[in-house]
């Protein structure tokens, strides 16, 4: 069973930073004159994450959730990770308040088995266990989030074993505009942001900056010390329509973030204890892309170059303690051919893609005579992928995808997926898929070092999975009520356990497990519009993630609650000037790992279930200016998502937001 490591650096909210990104943008949309008496044309919603090429949402065969900007503004949530608490199959574990380590597990998988993209750029941090650093991902400049569940390695390669989250930045540049928000509230929190854009017929420029600071709360169960956080993010983006068919995109983003955390009492309690611990993170991301899409043409394609540089430094009692860093250079190219079938409503699409990714990893630490804390490692991967999407008759879509990864450190890896989506009747859709996934060992698992406690294992082999899902969705009451259900089942082989006792050193290391890990369950979803302006959405997930232990007994895996559910009610009134949003999130009981320093025994201990209620409201003062207010954890629920780390109590916030066109 893979267990979270409880050494000094892992107790730090392990993964220290990571907002990303670089912007990619869609092709320009040109307005056309239309007869005013003509009925408006309803365009299919297009998603860019579920396949090698953009695809209509109604044709996607995988379980997919799309979070819109409208929903983000109604919730007034400041962190992307908090939005994911309401996504079916998603379990969020945060080690305290804002800015503290946040891990996201999907359908019972590990946190680093979920690939995170920002406008298509891989944002998982190789210097932090290949996890995306949700604690630094703010929502202030996000347009939409596309979430695809299930094995996606056949499209995206390693890290996409359990699914993909694509965070897509705002690109609504039309003329000249300025947008901003200002909010303050509990725990000394200040949240400021501004962005703007300028455009001509062929050129669009945009930029933005955000600053978030909080004194935080005490993340340990005892003691008076609050653990705060600060985040400064700035980004720039450009789109240039060179010709009607060719578009150039360029973007860059910089992140500077700090986060306080506590140490662990390795003598008496084994739990977090107040301490002066700080993580400082700096990130820079760059992207350039060319997109070719001739109007009415059969062929389309793109070529992109991405480069990222992340640096994380840890300070103990004001003194330098350790550091990790990573540089990733990636080249991606895609070519697609689309053509109509011989019969009405039929079509075909064939897509080829390749990518080359070079990663450099650096680790520095204080040499205490226990292993080597200083490492410079590298890895490169070349991937080739192909995908066929066909509609042999109207209402039925099927896809077959395959990928081959040539890795410099491991044997070649092949993954594939077969999926279908069928509208069996008007308003009734059935979908299913079967696929394989892979996840290469992280640099931390192979070469990581925590003084006196952990030494990595360079002999690890990649994790592999196979899984399937079958779902149905149906519309009722003229489309005002939608109900859905999906069953999922997957098996993980070669799972890496990061907490294995090593008698040779007297510490711990990582190792591949001999037994398989089973993850299965089901998701129920519903959305209802009972009256104009009111939307009620709810979901429930049952997850059974188990593995056989050394004694042959089947045990639950940690930080995977079996029962999760959420309900959201959003009401717009007074001609949309006012808005009230109620969100209820339930997380059932779960297990977490505990190492007892008095007995030197590691065991799994229970975490109680909890329900958190949030309320947000807004009132439009003018066409450009809006007043906002929200209450988090309305009933002051006392709960933990990670053993020993207290989540914040009730909090109150208020502010203004607006957009000005000139």
CATH number for 86: 2.40.170.20
- Other C-beta atoms closer than 10 Å to the C-beta of 425 total 10
Secondary structure of residue 587 in the 3-state scheme: strand
Q: Considering only CA atoms, which of 141, 100, 126 is closest in space to residue 234?
A: 141
Average pLDDT, the chain: 89
Q: What is the pTM of this model?
A: 0.91
Given the structure tokens 């309305």, which residue do they identify?
A: 634
In tens, the pLDDT along 323-361 reads 999 999 999 999 999 999 888 889 999 999 999 999 999
**Does position 639 have pLDDT exceeding 80, yes or no?**
yes
Residue 43 banded pLDDT, cuts 50, 70, 90: low
**Does position 25 have pLDDT exceeding 60, yes or no?**
no
In tens, the pLDDT along 162-198 reads 999 999 888 777 789 999 999 999 999 999 999 989 9
528-531 contacts: CB < 8 A, separation 24 or more? 528/480, 528/481, 528/482, 529/480, 529/481, 530/480
In tens, the pLDDT along 546-562 reads 998 777 789 999 999 99
Q: What residues contact 553, with CB distance under 8 A and at least 6 apart?
A: none
pLDDT value of position 370: 66
**Does position 32 have pLDDT exceeding 80, yes or no?**
no
Check: CB of residue 491 under 8 Å from CB of residue 518: yes
In-domain check, residue 458: yes
Given the structure tokens 């089973």, which residue do they identify?
A: 518
Total structural domains in the chain?
Answer: 1
Give the containing element (helix H, strand E) for 69. helix 69-75
Q: Considering only CA atoms, which of 547, 453, 570, 436 is closest in space to residue 507?
A: 453
Residue ranges of E strands in 76-188:
90-94, 102-106, 114-118, 121-122, 142-149, 163-169, 176-185
**Does position 642 have pLDDT exceeding 50, yes or no?**
yes
Please state, in angstroms and rounded to a whole number, the distance separating the CA atoms of residues 126 and 132.
9
Residue 39 banded pLDDT, cuts 50, 70, 90: very low
Q: Considering only CA atoms, which of 324, 173, 321 is closest in space to residue 251?
A: 173
Structure tokens at 24: 């990619």
In-domain check, residue 622: yes
pLDDT value of position 30: 29
pLDDT value of position 524: 98
Q: Is 504 left (phi over 0), alpha (psi -120 to 50) or beta?
A: alpha
Structure tokens at 448: 């990581």
Check: CB of residue 81 under 8 Å from CB of residue 105: no
In-domain check, residue 24: no
Structure tokens at 514: 């001999």
Work out the average pLDDT over 40-66: 81
SS (H, E, C) 230-259: EEEEEEEEEEEECCCCEEEEEEEEEEEEEE
Please tell me the least confidently modeled range out of 12-16, 128-132, 411-415.
12-16
Report the chain's C-alpha Rg in angstroms: 24
**Does position 602 have pLDDT exceeding 50, yes or no?**
yes
Residue ranges of E strands in 588-634:
590-596, 601-607, 610-620, 625-632
Q: Beta strands 449-450 and 454-455: pairing type?
A: antiparallel
Please state, in angstroms and rounded to a whole number, the distance separating the CA atoms of residues 642 and 68.
29
Please state, in angstroms and rounded to a whole number, the distance separating the CA atoms of residues 567 and 468.
27
- Name which residue leads in pLDDT, 494 or 22: 494
Work out the average pLDDT over 111-115: 95
Q: What residues contact 623, with CB distance under 8 A and at least 6 apart?
A: none
Check: CB of residue 483 under 8 Å from CB of residue 474: yes
**Does position 64 have pLDDT exceeding 90, yes or no?**
yes
Q: Which DSSP letter does residue 126 get? A: G
In-domain check, residue 596: yes
Please state, in angstroms and rounded to a whole number, the distance separating the CA atoms of residues 651 and 631.
6
Residue count of the chain: 662
Give the containing element (helix H, strand E) for 83. helix 80-83
In tens, the pLDDT along 425-484 reads 888 999 999 999 999 999 999 988 776 678 889 999 999 999 999 999 999 999 999 999
pLDDT value of position 21: 30
Containing structural domain, residue 429: 46-661
């Amino acid at each position: 069973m893979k267990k979270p490591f409880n050494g000094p650096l892992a107790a730090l909210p392990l993964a220290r930073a990571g907002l990303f990104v670089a912007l990619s943008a869609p092709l320009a949309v040109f307005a056309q004159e239309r007869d005013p008496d003509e009925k408006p044309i309803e365009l299919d919603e297009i998603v860019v994450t579920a396949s090698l090429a953009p695809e209509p949402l109604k044709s996607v065969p995988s379980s997919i959730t799309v979070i819109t900007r409208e929903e983000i503004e109604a919730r007034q949530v400041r962190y992307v990770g908090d939005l994911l608490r309401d996504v079916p199959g998603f379990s969020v574990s945060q080690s305290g308040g804002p800015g503290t380590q946040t891990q996201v597990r999907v359908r019972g998988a590990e946190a680093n088995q979920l690939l995170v993209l920002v406008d298509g750029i891989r944002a998982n941090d190789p210097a932090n266990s290949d996890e995306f650093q949700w604690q630094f991902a703010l929502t202030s400049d996000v347009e939409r989030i596309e979430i695809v569940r299930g094995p996606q390695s056949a499209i995206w390669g390693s890290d996409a074993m359990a699914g993909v989250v694509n965070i897509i930045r705002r690109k609504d540049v039309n003329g000249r505009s300025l947008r901003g928000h200002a909010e303050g509230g509990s725990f000394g929190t200040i949240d400021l942001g501004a962005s703007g854009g300028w455009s001509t017929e062929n050129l669009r420029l945009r930029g933005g900056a955000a600053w978030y600071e909080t004194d935080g709360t005490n993340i340990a169960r005892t003691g008076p010390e609050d653990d705060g956080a600060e985040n400064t993010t700035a980004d720039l983006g450009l789109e240039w329509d060179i010709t009607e068919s060719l578009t150039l995109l360029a973007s860059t983003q910089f992140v500077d973030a700090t986060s306080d955390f506590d140490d662990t009492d390795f003598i008496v309690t084994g739990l977090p204890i107040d301490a002066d611990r700080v993580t400082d993170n700096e990130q820079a991301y760059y992207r350039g892309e060319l997109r070719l899409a001739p109007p009415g043409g059969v062929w389309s394609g793109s070529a992109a170059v991405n480069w990222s540089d992340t640096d994380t430094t840890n300070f103990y009692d004001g003194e330098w303690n350790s550091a990790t860093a990573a540089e990733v250079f990636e080249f991606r190219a895609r070519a697609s051919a689309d053509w109509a079938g011989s019969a009405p409503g039929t079509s075909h699409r064939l897509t080829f893609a390749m990518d080359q990714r070079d990663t450099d990893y650096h680790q520095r630490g204080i040499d205490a005579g226990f292993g080597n804390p200083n490492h410079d490692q590298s890895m490169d991967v070349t991937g080739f992928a192909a995908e066929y999407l066909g509609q042999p008759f109207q209402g039925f879509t099927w896809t077959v995808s395959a990928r081959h990864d040539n890795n410099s450190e491991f044997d070649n890896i092949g993954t594939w997926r077969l999926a279908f989506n069928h509208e069996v009747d008007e308003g009734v859709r059935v979908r299913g898929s079967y696929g394989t996934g892979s996840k290469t060992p992280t640099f931390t698992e192979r070469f990581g070092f925590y003084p006196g406690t952990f030494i990595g294992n360079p002999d690890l082999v990649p994790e592999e999975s196979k899984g399937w899902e079958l779902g149905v969705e149906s519309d009722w009451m003229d489309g005002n009520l939608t109900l859905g259900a999906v069953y999922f089942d997957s098996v993980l082989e070669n799972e890496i356990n990061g907490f294995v006792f090593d008698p040779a050193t007297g510490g711990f290391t990582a190792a591949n497990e001999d037994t398989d890990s089973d993850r299965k369950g089901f998701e129920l979803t519903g959305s209802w519009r009972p009256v104009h302006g009111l939307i009620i959405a709810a979901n429930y997930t049952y997850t059974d993630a188990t593995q056989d232990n050394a004694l042959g007994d089947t045990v639950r895996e940690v930080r995977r609650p079996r029962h999760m559910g959420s309900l959201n009610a959003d009401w717009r009134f007074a001609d949309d000037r006012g808005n009230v949003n109620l969100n209820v999130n339930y997380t059932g009981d779960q297990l977490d790992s505990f190492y007892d320093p008095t007995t030197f025994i590691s065991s799994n201990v229970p975490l109680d279930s909890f329900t958190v209620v949030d309320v947000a409201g807004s009132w439009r003062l003018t066409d450009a200016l809006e007043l906002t207010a929200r209450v988090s954890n309305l009933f002051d629920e006392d709960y933990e998502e990670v053993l020993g780390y207290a989540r914040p109590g009730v909090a109150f916030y208020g502010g203004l937001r607006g957009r000005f066109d000139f």
